[in-house]
Amino acid sequence: MERYAEQTRQEFEGWEEFYSKPVDIKSDFFKQNDRIFDVIYAQQFDREFLDYLCGLADKIRLMARTKMGLGKLKHLLPHKRAMLYFVQPSTRTFLSFMNACHTLGLSVSEIRGTSTSSEVKGESREDTIRTFASYVDLIISRHPEAGFAEKTAWVLNQTERPVPVLNGGSGPDQHPTQALLDIYTLEREFSNIGGLDGKKIAMVGDLRRGRTVRSLSYLMKNYKDISLYFVAPDVFRMKEDIKGFLEKHGISFHETEDFKSIMPLVDAIYMTRIQNEYTENPSSKVETFPAFHFKTQHLGIIQPHCVILHPLPRRYEIEVSVDKDPRAAYWRQERCGMWIRAALIAYIFRVDQEILDEFS
Ligand code: NCD
């Protein structure tokens, strides 16, 4: 649909100043009564919270297996409504949040593009978001711009109807709930070998613009003796802000373009896609960087316990015949997203204890 008018730009006093502050100072603004209220950055999660949420996700998963258990879960939040505002393409994050909401009984409404909302008439984004808050109790957003979810939460927290905001991906910047599901998957995959502590993890591909690897790197500060291997073509190397963060927290990392040399060393390989949507002048010929692909023949050189992850969607990074190997964990990882997101929503609405009580 054609735009009738340019989008209205509104000035919010104090926003620029707030946005420029370091995350450790800002994150208190996204808490209520000492609990996380809005989920904006991965740095908001500490070890206690991560362990707690993984445990809660396991319980939800178990309950959802039976008609009676699922029935109980669906009775937890039927009085709550959620809005999925996904104006950047999404399959997994959208579906897993939607199904997480349904599992807990929430009703869901959705906007999947600005072309069918009043933004076409020139309404500002902030007024659009404020409108959602009039109808729902939770906003989950995905947006092509860094800082979008943060501004949404910042604006709403100053209104008389602050509803929690969950960041389902903010441009090339952050994807905190993907990091949660990645942690949950790694902890499960390593449950027989002492969990995630002490492990070596390779992150491969477009580390510069991939928000999943950025958010996951932040979470590594919560685990003991982690070694990271950043494997990327020179143009897509991990950015300095993340490397600075790792240095500050004493987390060891190595950078290389030689994927094959680190394959036998690591306990997990986290593959990613080249993020072509952020290319400024895309040419018709898209380079696929085959030296950073995981091929069937590589299964022979990785460790017997090494897990292969990918946030998906994949393009050519993992050969499809790798899927049959039990170490290919990406389809399990995808499903983990639904359970950990249900756990997060249960926590936000404080029905987590009711779930745990089922097991006491
Ligand atoms: C990722 C994303 O959107 O950042 N996908 C996802 O949420 N599972 C990864 C990607 O698109 O490459």
At 235-293, the pLDDT tens digits run: 999 999 999 999 999 999 999 999 999 999 999 999 999 998 888 776 656 789 999 99
Residue 164 forms part of a structural domain: yes
Give the other-Cβ count within 10 Å of 290's Cβ: 9
| Cα dihedral: 171, 311, 62, 35 (round 10) | -30
> Which of 59, 61, 125, 175 is an active site residue?
175
Query: Does 91 lie in the same domain as 31?
Result: yes
Q: Which atom of ligand 1 is nearest to the CA of 275?
A: 12
DSSP E strands, the chain:
31-32, 35-36, 81-86, 107-111, 138-143, 165-170, 200-204, 227-231, 252-256, 268-271, 307-309
Q: In terms of domains, do 181 and 329 share one?
A: yes
- Pocket test of ligand 1: the residue of 95, 98, 173, 178 to mutate, having most ligand atoms within 8 Å of its CB, is 178
Residue 125 has pLDDT above 90, yes or no: no
Tens digit of each residue's pLDDT (9 = 90 or more) over 311-331: 999 999 999 999 999 999 999
pLDDT of the residue at 277:
85
Tell me: pLDDT of 1 over 60: no
> What pLDDT does 6 receive?
87
Nearest CA to ligand 1 atom 12: 273
Identify whether residues 30 and 119 lie together within a single domain.
yes
**Tens-digit pLDDT profile for residues 150-165:** 999 999 999 999 999 9
Q: Please state, for a pLDDT cut of 70, what percent of the chain lies above it.
A: 98
pLDDT of amino acid 284: 59
129 to 108, 138, 163, 164: CA distances (angstroms): 15, 11, 11, 12
Same domain, 158 and 296: no
Q: Say whether both 116 and 203 belong to one domain.
A: no
Taking only the tens place, the pLDDT of each residue in 175-199 is: 999 999 999 999 999 999 999 999 9
User: Is 10 among the domain residues?
Assistant: no
- Do 29 and 92 fall within a single domain? yes
Atom 6 of ligand 1 has which residue's CA nearest to it?
Answer: 311
- Residue 294: per-residue pLDDT: 98
178 lines ligand 1 (CB under 6 A): yes
Tell me: do 125 and 184 sit in the same domain. Answer: no
Known catalytic residue at 142: yes
199-208 pLDDT, tens digit each: 999 999 999 9
% the chain with pLDDT above 90: 88
- Give yes or no for residue 151 CB within 6 A of ligand 1: no
User: Which tokens hold the place of 171?
Assistant: 């441009």
State which residues form the domain around 236.
177-275+288-335
For ligand 1, say whether the CB of 337 is within 6 Å of any of its atoms. no
pLDDT in tens, 213-222: 999 999 999 9
**174: Cβ below 6 Å to ligand 1?**
no
> Which residues, 6 or more positions from 69, have their beta carbon under 8 angstroms from its beta carbon?
62, 63, 358
CATH number at residue 53: 3.40.50.1370
Concerning whether 114 is annotated as a catalytic residue, the answer is: no
pLDDT at residue 282 in the model: 67
Q: Is 128 in the pocket of ligand 1 (CB under 6 A)?
A: no
212 CA: nearest ligand 1 atom: 4
- Per-residue pLDDT, 114: 82
Residue 92 beta carbon below 6 angstroms from any ligand 1 atom = yes
Whether residue 168 has its Cβ less than 6 Å from ligand 1: no
Q: Is 92 a catalytic residue?
A: yes
Q: What residue owns the CA closest to ligand 1's atom 1? A: 311
Arithmetic mean of pLDDT over the chain:
95
Residue 186 shares a structural domain with residue 201: yes
Supply the pLDDT for residue 280: 76
Q: 150 near 40, Cβ under 8 Å?
A: yes
**Looking at the 3D structure of the chain, how many domains does it have?**
2
Residue 164: cis peptide before it, omega within 30 degrees of 0: no
If asked whether residues 116 and 254 sit together in one domain, one would say: no
Query: Do residues 149 and 224 share a domain?
Result: no
Q: Is the CB of 209 under 6 A from ligand 1?
A: no
Q: In what order do the strands lie in the sheet with 165-170?
A: 107-111, 81-86, 138-143, 165-170
Let me know if residue 13 belongs to a domain.
Answer: no
Instruction: Answer yes or no: do 128 and 194 share one domain.
Output: no
190 and 170, same structural domain?
no
pLDDT in tens, 290-316: 999 999 999 999 999 999 999 999 999
Residue nearest to atom 8 of ligand 1 (CA): 311
Residue 9 in domain? no
Marked catalytic residue, from 74, 92, 243, 335: 92
For residue 119, what pLDDT is reported?
79
- Across the range 222-239, mean pLDDT stands at 98
One of 26, 142, 214, 273 is an active-site residue; which one? 142
In a domain, residue 298? The reply is yes
147 within a domain of the structure (yes/no): yes
CB of 311 closer than 6 angstroms to any ligand 1 atom = yes
